[in-house]
């Protein structure tokens, strides 16, 4: 690993960082897209066509999320944000709240959040652990039929892209953790950082579709490779001091 004191770290996480907490990924064996067709549950057209089926898909995942806990990889990233003197921004494609529960603070949920619901009629966004149905009234405008998961479906614009792109162009270390590098625009983030001169590291179970664009790779389960990498980063600070 390039041993230097990085000033601005951007971390991108995907479903792989939550796998060992018991949340199924999308494209691995037994993943979500084996059981549900993406076109039937993760597009605006699917929701128009069959809102209750799509709500059921998210109600199920919301219920599952309440039973699982953050793992050592989530805690390691929270420790890095606490102890690293430089700027650390965590951009996650995940809609779970495991980074928050592990203590991370500076988080951008670019694909939204499973524990939030949005009313299409009045725009109100609110947190809930409950199931939602087309018959559930919006707590703000009281209208029915407008509630949807506050997540970004295929064909929809991810959240806070300007802020993400700004950070990618300024960072000097870019980490991609637990993502297959198959969903855009997230899959293209490494290219932006690399062009901006950042040192790019991939931490994953196996090489992602973008593996060749990274300078450094550590493969293995996130609960092993992420804490180990964070320790090396924090140790390099101590060495600098001596
Ligand atoms: C956009 C929703 C315009 C919430 C998600 C044709 C038509 C329409 C669009 C497109 C098109 N072609 C391309 C596109 C763009 C499209 C896209 O990329 N499609 C793909 C399928 C080709 N993207 C979009 O539509 C996006 N919007 O483009 O808007 C635009 C244009 C330009 C600039 C800006 C905007 C919106 C994409 C968001 C879709 N919503 N989720 C939900 O239900 O969760 S995507 C979904 O996939 C999740 O968010 C997930 O995070 C994401 C990526 O998947 P991964 O996280 O990488 O998970 P995956 O299972 O794939 O991989 C897991 C990895 O972990 C593997 O590598 C595995 O090895 C590893 N792993 C497993 N276990 C472990 C592990 N690693 C470590 N330890 C372990 N234990």
| Residue pLDDT, tens place only, 154-211 | 999 999 999 999 999 999 999 999 999 999 999 999 999 999 999 999 999 999 999 9
**207, 6, 239, 215 alpha-carbon torsion, rounded to 10°:** 30
Neighbouring-strand partners of residue 89: 10
Query: Which of 114, 26, 17, 12 minimizes the C-alpha distance to 71?
Result: 17
Please state, as a whole number, how many other Cβ atoms lie within 10 Å of the Cβ of residue 151. 19
Q: Work out the percent of the chain whose per-residue pLDDT is above 70.
A: 97
Token pair for residue 44?
């605006």
**Pocket perturbation via mutation, ligand 1, pick of 114, 150, 184, 201 by most ligand atoms within 8 A of CB:** 184
Residue 161 burial by CB count (10 A; 0-12/13-18/19+): exposed, middle or buried? middle
How many angstroms separate the alpha carbon of residue 240 from the centre of ligand 1? 38
**Pocket perturbation via mutation, ligand 1, pick of 11, 13, 14 by most ligand atoms within 8 A of CB:** 14
Mean pLDDT, all residues of the chain = 94
Over range 96-107, report the average pLDDT.
98
For ligand 1, atom 60, which residue shows the shortest CA distance? 26
N-term to C-term CA, the chain:
19
Is the pLDDT score of 88 beyond 60?
Answer: yes
Residues marked as catalytic: 111
Token pair for residue 235?
């140790």
Is the pLDDT score of 2 beyond 80?
Answer: no
Q: Are 116 and 125 contacting, i.e. CB atoms less than 8 angstroms apart?
A: yes
Helix (H) or strand (E) holding 218: strand 216-219
Is the pLDDT score of 111 beyond 90?
Answer: yes
Is the pLDDT score of 36 beyond 90?
Answer: no
88, 124, 216, 222 from 55: Cα distances, Å: 34, 17, 40, 30
CA distance 30 to 182: 18
pLDDT grade for 123, boundaries at 50, 70 and 90? very high
77, 132, 144 from 21: Cα distances, Å: 15, 24, 35
Q: Are 149 and 46 contacting, i.e. CB atoms less than 8 angstroms apart?
A: no
Is the CB of 180 inside a 6 Å radius of any atom of ligand 1? yes
């Amino acid at each position: 690993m390039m041993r230097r004191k990085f000033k601005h770290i951007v971390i991108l996480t995907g479903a792989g960082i939550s796998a060992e907490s018991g949340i199924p990924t999308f494209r691995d064996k037994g993943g979500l897209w084996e059981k549900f067709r993406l076109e039937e549950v993760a597009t605006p057209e699917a929701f128009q066509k069959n809102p209750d089926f799509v709500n059921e898909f998210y109600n199920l995942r919301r219920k599952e999320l309440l039973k699982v806990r953050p793992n050592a990889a989530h805690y390691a990233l929270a420790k890095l944000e606490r102890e690293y003197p430089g700027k650390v921004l965590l951009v996650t494609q995940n809609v779970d709240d495991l980074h928050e529960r592990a203590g991370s603070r500076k988080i951008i949920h670019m694909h939204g959040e499973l524990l939030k619901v949005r009313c299409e009629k009045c725009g109100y966004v609110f947190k809930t652990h409950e199931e939602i149905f087309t018959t559930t009234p919006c707590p703000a405008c009281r209208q029915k039929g407008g509630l949807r998961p506050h997540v970004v479906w295929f064909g929809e614009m991810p959240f806070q892209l300007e802020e993400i792109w700004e950070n990618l162009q300024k960072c000097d270390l870019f980490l991609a953790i637990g993502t297959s590098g198959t969903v855009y625009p997230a899959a293209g983030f490494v290219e932006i950082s690399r062009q901006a001169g950042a040192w790019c590291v991939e931490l994953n179970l196996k090489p992602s579709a973008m593996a060749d664009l990274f300078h450094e790779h550590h493969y293995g389960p996130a609960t092993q490779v992420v804490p180990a990498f964070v320790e090396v980063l924090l140790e390099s600070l101590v060495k600098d001091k001596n």
